[in-house]
Amino acid sequence: MKILGIESSCDETAAAIVENGSRILSNVVVSQIDIHSAYGGVIPEIAARSHIEAIMPVINQSLSDARLTVTDLDAIAVTHTPGLVGSLLVGTLAARTIAILNNIPFYPTHHLKSHIYANWLSGNEPEFPLLAMVISGGHTQIIYMERHDDFHIIGTTRDDAIGEVFDKVAKILGLPYPGGPSIARAALNGNPNKYQLPIPQVDGLDFSFSGLKTAVLRAVQKDLGLPITTPSHELKAHLNAQQIADFAASFQATVVKITTLKLKAAARQYPAAKSIVFAGGVSANQLLREKLTQSFHHTHQVFFPEPKFSTDNGAMVASAAYYSIESGEKASDPYSLDISPRSIIS
């Protein structure tokens, strides 16, 4: 079964064709990072306009790279939630139009589900039951799955998402958007033990990251001998390269510690889990990959998507749709599709 997966929920316009959930026939991603980095974050209006320019060339490229035409497709899947409204509208409208004109079965797909299914690309087959750790720019969740297409949220953030804190801390340190890769790069020259940042105390399997962001802000102000009333955008001018590296390394190490502690608690509560899969942009982080693999490989099978499938792409959308179809999901009516900026995986 050949599925075209389309993704446009944030700042990547992406399309891919995947056969039977894991064999990648093509994968095209056009990133808008260079456009948005000038503003220090994603500007929704600009994102939507850029998707409009890119969407058809990206879809056409995915077909020609796979040496297929539209009529060879068995299904079209597209991210319809959650995400930026204008961005979602562009991808879903393109997908609906192609599905209607060519009479191809149509599958709207949840973005977080797709991130999880990035772990089934490249021939991997994580064993169920499993714990999925979704760590992206907009979400931080631990999800328990007993089987394909079955999701129980067992932990979630009460405030900021993990990727969002990477982006905000990067801004404080004067590092470019997106913050995750910038912090990882700066941290290579830093001492992770230089600054002691607090581990947020949150009950159960939930997370809280806004306190950590404020802790970094206060620690920077203190280190520079500036009052806490100093606006965060004024700090970067006072920081030297070593301070930036040490703050980046200390922050990154703290995030890895928090993630490890929560996952350990989840593994204790769900002892039947055989595998742990990581998903979302932050799962591209090299330190996180190394430390979490070390922590869990004795007890679980540990999976990370290939870095290029950690961040937004169309292949994961096609894979998620395939396993939904295998689990009995019926095609949707492309005329009546709705998009939604927020929604819970179910």
- Tell me the one-letter amino acid at 102: N
Binding mask 126-145 for Zn ion (x = CB under 5 A): ----------x---------
Q: Which is nearer to ligand KG4, 62 or 136 (CB)?
A: 136
Binding mask 190-229 for ligand KG4 (x = CB under 6 A): ----------------------------------------
Binding mask 105-144 for ligand KG4 (x = CB under 6 A): -------------------------------xxx------
In angstroms, give the least distance from the CB of 251 to ligand KG4. 10
Q: Which of 59, 312, 317, 339 binds Zn ion (CB under 5 A)?
A: 312
Q: Which parts of 296-315 interact with ligand KG4 (CB under 6 A)? A: 311-312
Structure-block tokens of residue 234: 């004024």
How many residues bind ligand KG4 (CB under 6 A)? The answer is 19
In angstroms, give the least distance from the CB of 79 to Zn ion. 9
- Interface residues with ligand KG4 (CB under 6 A) are 10, 136-138, 163, 166-167, 178-181, 184, 280-282, 284-285, 311-312
- Interface residues with Zn ion (CB under 5 A) are 136, 312
